[in-house]
Amino acid sequence: FLTDDQKITLSNIKDIIVDQINSWNVQKLRAQVGWPVPPDLDVLQPFCEKIALLLLKQMQQMKQFWEVESLNYFERIYNETKRTFAAFIKRCLVIEKQPSSIVVKGTNGKHIEVSLRLLLGKRFFQEISYFPDNVTCSLHL
């Protein structure tokens, strides 16, 4: 499992990626009023996938240690990693395209179409399919 230095490095990289996603979202909103279009998200996706895979792997290891050793230490690290993983996955789900009228006027009860993108690739979904925990997703509008 990860040393303290590795945890700090992973946390710093995760924070940088989340900052980049936030910056992209701001640039996307500005582009709707004439600012330059933000760069493609394809650059961020491999980094998001690697961080998610590292967090997933740490969760798997902590769960295995916890089941074998039954120590609260492993349960605590597992739960902490699971919270970090869930928060990171939520940040990796971005609205890639949306009509500009949503920002200015709202929907006024009309149906709208948006393009959602989860910044994780095929490898992540292959790995998570072997993970024994249930994975759920919900979208609240």
The pLDDT assigned to 80 comes to 87
Q: Which residue has the tokens 């933000």?
A: 38
- Phi/psi at 70 (nearest 5 deg)? 55, 40
Check residue 31 and give its pLDDT.
86
H-only helix segments in the chain: 4-31, 45-69, 72-92, 101-104, 122-128
**Long-range contacts made by residues 98-106, C-beta under 8 angstroms, separation at least 24?**
100/32, 100/33, 103/29, 103/32
Say what the pLDDT of residue 23 is. Answer: 92
Percent of the chain topping pLDDT 90: 4
Mean pLDDT by 10 residues, the chain (141 residues): 75 88 89 84 88 87 81 83 88 80 57 80 75 60 58
The burial class, CB within 10 Å (0-12 / 13-18 / 19+), for 89 is buried
Q: What is the pTM of this model?
A: 0.73
> Taking Cα atoms as reference points, which of 136, 131, 112, 122 lies closest to residue 56?
131
